[in-house]
Amino acid sequence: MQTYGYARVSSTDQNEHRQLLALRARNIPEENIFVDKQSGRDFIRPQYAELIVRLREGDLLYVLSIDRLGRNYEEIQEQWRFLTKDIGIDIAVIDMPLLDTRQGKDLMGTFIADLVLQILSFVAQSERESIRRRQAEGIAAAKARGVRFGRPAAPVPKNFDQLIGAWERKSITLPELLEQCDALSESTFFRRLRDIREQR
């Protein structure tokens, strides 16, 4: 039997230190600890995929909490069944002792573990949806305050309006106009043109 640990943070600027401390306290060999820095919305993650290949029947997998495994309700349930039934490993969720498949192998123990798993999976997905909603609300509020997102607008010459007028009168061609705008791309030009016409 091999003992493994899995940790996950949602982005590269988040710290997995607390999870690693909890896993190392279980005396898991360092080479058996896998860490992904990726969203929990699905299970398409490089380190998780490598972990799956290593697991064998009878192995034990530790995770700090169920949301570190994932944040999608249905996929957490599916992966749990795949790991425990298809591969035949045990899983121990450190923050939730009821979710330890080594305990309560009888019908009642299995029922309680399944119930707790469903509740925690639901909570994990609800939290993910709540985070996304708060992000969307924050972006909408920032846009309402005039905050601009994305790359800064490409600079245009001071006589841009005059160049547009000349182009509209067909005094100059579009390539000539773009050349005088420091090789501005066509898509950027038409976007700026649309903005100017809307302001008028």
Q: Among all residues, which ones are annotated catalytic?
A: 10
Rounded to 5 degrees, φ, ψ at 36 are: -110, 140
Tokens of residue 93, six digits: 């969720």
Phi, psi of 12 (to 5 degrees): -70, -20
Beta-carbon contacts of 123 under 8 Å, excluding residues fewer than 6 positions away, are: 67
Phi, psi of 31 (to 5 degrees): -75, -10
Phi, psi angle pair for 52, to nearest 5°: -55, -40
Query: How many residues in total does the chain contain?
Result: 200
- Asked if 87 and 56 touch (Cβ cutoff 8 Å), the reply is yes
> Which run of H or of E encompasses 90?
strand 90-93
d(CA 20, CA 28): 10
Backbone torsions φ then ψ of 8, nearest 5 degrees: -150, 135
Euclidean distance between CA atoms 129 and 123, whole angstroms: 10
